[in-house]
């Protein structure tokens, strides 16, 4: 197999004159100092990854300019997930504008709403965003921990037609332990047919060491719950390519090491799920 798709990558530039950092961020926080599309492709292309969904980097706040410009420069390679202000007056207008720039999803998380995880989706703007997501087929891409799942479940019941993506396997195992209650809570969200799951960021989960095979039971459970057609592999670069971790380590866990996956399953995780959502014409 080849022609893979990476569902989750961040890019940024050291050129803070043309692309200034958002308030509260400093150049010293940009680690690595630079991760441009050109630097990204040096990692992804040798592994057969030909298309990538970019995620707006927090350094830039609600200014998605660098991501959008990168998408324009590599139109056949990149799709995008933007970040907008959920507390703005009419966030659905901004969603529609960015959809015309080939943005397919919007990243949301409790910090944006300034609410604790138990109430993180209660601001009115999120209701407007979920409603627009259903109308325009734009996903809510959730950077959350398991404690935020009950509130997401509530919104999925209220807006069953809204596409939802949960990033990084809901960060289960980020503390080194894969709690059964967390896995069950995540798998319960599979009852909502428009919820998808990103399977990746392996460097940050479980034992946090390649080849990451300690994560195999977790991955098997979530793929069985959601089905491979709602799961997509992600590297979470550049954070995946640091210290002892490599891009190949991440993709190889799905491509070669998970015996629980059939070739067809792998095709969905490594290409077809992301292709159908992020790259459909």
pLDDT, tens digit (0-9, with 9 covering 90-100), for 192-217: 999 999 999 999 999 999 999 999 99
* Ordered structural domains, the chain, with CATH: 4-278 (3.20.20.140)
Q: Note the pLDDT tens digit of each residue in 84-124.
A: 999 999 999 999 999 999 999 999 999 998 899 999 999 99
Residue spans of alpha helices (H) in the chain: 37-44, 65-73, 91-99, 110-113, 124-136, 149-158, 180-188, 216-226, 247-252, 263-267, 273-278
CB 237 within 8 A of CB 204: no
Tokens 């292709």 map to which residue?
275
Report which secondary-structure segment, H or E, holds 150.
helix 149-158
Tabulate helix, strand, coil % of the chain (nearest 5). 45, 15, 35
Average pLDDT, the chain: 97
Q: Distance between CA 180 and CA 193 in Å, rounded?
A: 22
Tokens 């950077």 map to which residue?
143
Contacts 24+ apart (CB under 8 A), 62-66: 62/22, 63/19, 63/20, 63/22, 64/98, 64/103, 65/19, 66/11, 66/12, 66/13, 66/19
Q: Distance between CA 236 and CA 180 in Å, rounded?
A: 24
CA atoms within 13 A on the CB side of 74: 18
Confidence (pLDDT) at 1: 63
Confidence (pLDDT) at 281: 73
What band does 53 get if pLDDT is binned at 50, 70 and 90?
very high
Report which secondary-structure segment, H or E, holds 134.
helix 124-136
Q: What percent of the chain has pLDDT over 70?
A: 100
DSSP 19: S
pLDDT at 250 over 80: yes
Report which secondary-structure segment, H or E, holds 5.
strand 4-9
């Amino acid at each position: 197999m080849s022609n893979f798709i990476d569902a989750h990558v961040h890019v940024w530039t050291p050129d803070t004159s043309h692309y200034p950092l958002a308030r509260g961020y400093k150049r010293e926080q940009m680690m690595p100092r630079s991760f441009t599309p050109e630097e990204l492709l040096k990692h992804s292309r040798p592994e057969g990854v030909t298309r990538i969904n970019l995620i707006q980097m927090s350094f830039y706040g609600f200014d998605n300019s660098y991501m959008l410009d990168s998408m324009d420069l590599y139109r056949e390679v990149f799709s995008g997930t933007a970040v907008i202000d959920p507390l703005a007056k009419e966030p659905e207008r901004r969603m529609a504008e960015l959809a015309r720039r080939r943005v397919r999803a919007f990243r949301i998380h409790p910090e944006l709403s300034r609410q604790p995880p138990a109430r993180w989706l209660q601001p009115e703007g999120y209701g407007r965003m979920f409603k627009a997501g259903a109308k325009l087929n734009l996903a809510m891409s959730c950077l959350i921990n398991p404690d935020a799942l009950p509130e997401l479940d509530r919104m999925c019941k209220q807006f069953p037609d809204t596409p939802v993506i949960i990033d990084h396997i809901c960060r289960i195992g980020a503390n080194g332990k894969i709690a059964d209650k967390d896995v069950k809570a995540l798998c319960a969200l599979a009852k909502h047919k428009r919820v998808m799951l990103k399977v990746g960021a392996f460097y940050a989960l479980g034992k946090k060491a390649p080849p990451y095979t300690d994560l195999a039971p977790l991955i098997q459970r979530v793929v069985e719950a959601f089905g491979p057609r709602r799961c997509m592999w992600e590297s979470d670069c550049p954070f995946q390519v640091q210290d002892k971790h490599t891009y190949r380590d991440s993709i190889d866990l799905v491509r070669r090491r998970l015996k629980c996956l059939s070739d067809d399953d792998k095709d969905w995780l490594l290409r077809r799920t992301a292709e159908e959502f992020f790259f459909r014409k």
